[in-house]
Structure 1
Amino acid sequence: MKFNETPLKGAYTIDLEKKGDDRGFFARMFCANEFQELGLDFSVVQVNNSLSDLKGTLRGMHYQLEPYAESKIVRCIKGSLYDIILDLRKDSLTFGKWFGAELSEENRKMMFVPKGFAHGFITLRDGVEAIYFVTNFYNQEAERGVRWNDKRFGIEWPLEPKVLSEKDKLWPDFDPTIHLK
């Protein structure tokens, strides 16, 4: 695995290091030792799978409060999506900054999302499937969200969303007294 630092401290895109021959290739998607070498505590407790039928489906921007905060590894296994992470760590030098990258079945790139980040994506094709490896169990009471088009953050989505859940439409503008407590 090749870890590529993003402009947001502690967040990475991860490329597979493929070893191939005439049969195809082999690559590790996760190695605890490699995460530990970077000082990343990542113990998977849950693996989630999402399918979005239509191009322009937006999911996000989601996170969980402590003690249920989670780190994630996200990979698109079918189709293509634009993955966004948003730093909401109060004491971070990159608080309020975002980063995005295309994840697709072709590039096999993954996004490592640290605790304290909101996460979301928009599908770039019909029939997009993604998997998420997470370090904490989902807790409904700790779930929070930031509105996908909150002007405070200026996230530049590659296309206008066509499909959003009611919950994602109704997330409020960012307010630290609501979102970080």
Structure 2
Amino acid sequence: MAGYTAVRDALGSVVTLLERHITQSGETGLSGVPVSTLSPRELELVPTTTGVSVWLHRIDVQPDLVNRCAPRPAPDRMLHRPTPVELLIHITPLDPAGPVRALMLGRIVQVLSDHSRLAGADLVGGLAGSSTSLLLGVDTLGQYDLSLLWGTLHTHMRPGVALRVNGLVIDTHFTSQDSSRVLSSTSVVEQITEVPV
């Protein structure tokens, strides 16, 4: 589990991964290309001609994990339930030249496929050294979702990679509370001798 900085740190971990394999790669067409958490539209307004946008556009609560019982530290204590979340990120290469964008896009797909799990030294900020393990999965967005995504940015659609990040659990900021303790329990079992008609 992680604190409220987990969303920022998870996004930073994805950026660091891409910087290691793009910006710091030393390869022609990739070396020195900046990776940013700004949306493609924000990068246009900076203006940036070449770069990679790692845009966090949505956070969802993971419904299959949200109802798990909160751990109890002691019989008379109770913790509030943490919140498991899923990050939806769109990664878009920007460059005036189509072949350079295609080169960056190919590298992005390769890196995300090769590094589908980030843990330990791959994590940054408050997640570094924690037991958190981020699972990266390339996602498929339909035409309707893509139109909504790019429509909100008020810019033209560009090829990119949709990424889902799972495994992030945000801990509550409440401390554990006193809980009523069950002191004794009595159960009575009686045999049924007659069945009413």
Query: Shared fold (TM-score greater than 0.5)?
Result: no
TM-score by length of 2: 0.26
Q: Which has the larger radius of gyration?
A: 2
* Structure (1 or 2) with the greater helix fraction: 2
* Structure (1 or 2) with the greater strand fraction: 1
TM-score by length of 1: 0.28
